[in-house]
Structures are given as C-alpha cells and as structure tokens.
Amino acid sequence: MRKCMSFMGIVLFLCLVASPLFAVGSEASPSAVGGVVLSLASDSASLAVSLPASGDAVSGDAVSGDAVSGDAVSGDAASSSAATLDSKTSGGADSGDGSSSDVAKSAFDLGITFGHGALSFNRFTGPGLSMTLGLTLGLSQRMELDLVSLIELVPHPFGDVVAGAEFTFALLGERSFGDNRAGIGINTYLSAGLLFSNHTPDRRYAPTYLTFSVTPIVVGSPYSGRRERFAKMGVAWNFQDNSVSMYWSIALYDYYLVGTWKDYR
C-alpha cells in the first residue's frame, strides 16, 4: 500500500511538471517542409524561416513562391523587352538597307561628243579632213549608246555627212556606277554600230555601213564630267557596195551634261 502511494505521487508530480510543456506545444508547433523549418507563433503572427545547416537545396514551393514567381515574371518581362528592342533595332536596320536598295541606281548619263573621225580607203570619200560630232547616252554601268556623225570639213565643208548609232561596251569595268562613285578611270571600249550615208551605187541616203571598232585608251568617266577616247580603230563594211573601209579616230572628247558628280551632291 505504501508502494502504491509512492508511485501515484511520482505520476502526479510528473503530470504537474509536464503540463507547462504541453501548453507551450499547443501555442507554437514547429513544422518542417522540404528541409525548411517554419515556426508560427500565434501571439506575434510572424513567420520565422530557418534554413537547414546541411546546405540542402531549398524547394521553390517552400520559400516565398510569390516572390519567386514575381522575379520570374519580371525576368520574362525584361527578356521580352530586350527581344522587342532587338527586333526593333534589326527591323530599323533592315528598313534602312531596304530603303537604300529600293533606290534605283540609274547609270543614265548624257554627254556631247566631238573630235576627229574618218572613213579611209573609201572610194566615196577623197583625201581631206572630217570630224565627229554626236551624243553619248549611258544605258547601264557598262553599256552606252553613241549617236555619231562624220562631217567633212576639208575640202568641202559639210560636203559629205555619215550618221548613225553605235552600241559601246566597257571591257575593263564599270564606266559609271550610277551613284556617288566614279567609274573606272582607265578603260577599253568595244563598239558595233550602223551608219547611214549616200555611199550607195545609186547615191541615195540609206543604211550603208556596219561598223566594228575598239578604243584601247579611255580616260575619265561620266562622273568626272569629261572623258577622252584615244586611238579608236575599226572597220566599216559597206554592205550596199560590198566594200570595206578603215573606220578610225585620233581622239574624241566627251563632255557630260547629266550623270556627273554634281548630280549626286
């Protein structure tokens, strides 16, 4: 009986000692989620977060999901802004290139041609002196159309006139770029054309000569406003009379009215 009384006294003492601990446990209950210990105190309504000392990775669900998602959203917004800026920049560059490529680079130019020119070894022309007078029109960067006339000066001024057109091709490079750049400064030209004259059996004015010539030395370009052509040599076939003449020129000078550097200032 005495032993039972002693055991009951011990149990009652333990209950009295443990009752404050149970009260504290009911007020604050710690919990661990994903290795993070959260402790909520009802009296202060505060959230305490303690990270584990072991250095384990913290899951995104446990730590401030709203803050993380906000950072992600702001990061996505920044990426979107950067992408938009890049697209605008590239778009502007493309539009700039497009606008420059949309500008038609016309190589048209217009000039006045004069100088020496003759048909030699020809039974319809005697010894004397003649000149070339005409126009030169640029068709492309390498091609041009020359409207030419051979006019007798001596011994009978304007006693014989041969006129026609020649297509000329620049062999060594662009005669004109059609923009604010000079063409090739030294070039060689190859020409072919058709001339009209009265060098026919019945002396009527008609298509008469097919011409083929080369000008080995060409200095200048339409961009510079003037050009010199030296030592033009070729043949002229009179298909009306079935004869061949020497078609040549010592020097020709071209002065340009359109397509010079003044037009690209």
Asked whether residue 205 is assigned to any structural domain, the reply reads: yes
The verdict on 203 and 116 lying in the same domain is yes
The verdict on 25 and 115 lying in the same domain is no
Average pLDDT over residues 43-60: 41
Residue 53 or 161, more confident: 161
> Mean pLDDT across the chain, nearest whole number?
75
Helix (H) or strand (E) holding 114: strand 110-116
The verdict on 11 and 123 lying in the same domain is no
The verdict on 121 and 246 lying in the same domain is yes
Average pLDDT over residues 219-234: 96
Asked whether residue 99 is assigned to any structural domain, the reply reads: no
pLDDT of 230 strictly over 50:
yes
Question: Quick count: other Cβ atoms within 10 Å of Cβ 236?
Answer: 27
Model-level pTM? 0.60
pLDDT of 201 strictly over 50:
yes
The verdict on 237 and 141 lying in the same domain is yes
pLDDT of 73 strictly over 70:
no
Question: How many structural domains are present in the chain?
Answer: 2
Asked whether residue 75 is assigned to any structural domain, the reply reads: no
The pLDDT score that the predictor gives to residue 105 is: 55
Work out the angle at residue 83's Cα, subtended by the Cα atoms of residues 79 and 84, and round it to the nearest 5 degrees: 115
Asked whether residue 223 is assigned to any structural domain, the reply reads: yes
The verdict on 15 and 146 lying in the same domain is no
pLDDT of 204 strictly over 60:
yes
The pLDDT score that the predictor gives to residue 3 is: 52
| Three-state DSSP state, 165 | strand
Residue 85 or 179, more confident: 179
Let me know if 155 is exposed, middle or buried by CB neighbors in 10 A (0-12, 13-18, 19+). exposed
The verdict on 251 and 125 lying in the same domain is yes
Q: Where are the alpha helices (DSSP H) in the chain?
A: 2-27, 65-102
The verdict on 12 and 120 lying in the same domain is no
Asked whether residue 221 is assigned to any structural domain, the reply reads: yes
The verdict on 215 and 147 lying in the same domain is yes
| Percentage above 70 pLDDT, the chain | 60
Asked whether residue 12 is assigned to any structural domain, the reply reads: yes
Name residue 134's beta-bridge partners.
Answer: 113, 148
Asked whether residue 43 is assigned to any structural domain, the reply reads: yes
Of 30, 50, 70, the last residue of a domain is 50
The verdict on 40 and 166 lying in the same domain is no
Residue 183 or 195, more confident: 195
The verdict on 36 and 138 lying in the same domain is no
Nearest Cα to Cα of residue 255 among 133, 73, 100? 133
Return the CATH number at 253.
2.40.160
The verdict on 115 and 44 lying in the same domain is no
The pLDDT score that the predictor gives to residue 180 is: 87
pLDDT of 80 strictly over 80:
no
The pLDDT score that the predictor gives to residue 232 is: 98
pLDDT of 193 strictly over 60:
yes
Domain with 34 in it: 2-50
The pLDDT score that the predictor gives to residue 66 is: 45
pLDDT band at 35 (very low <50, low <70, confident <90, very high): very low
Asked whether residue 239 is assigned to any structural domain, the reply reads: yes
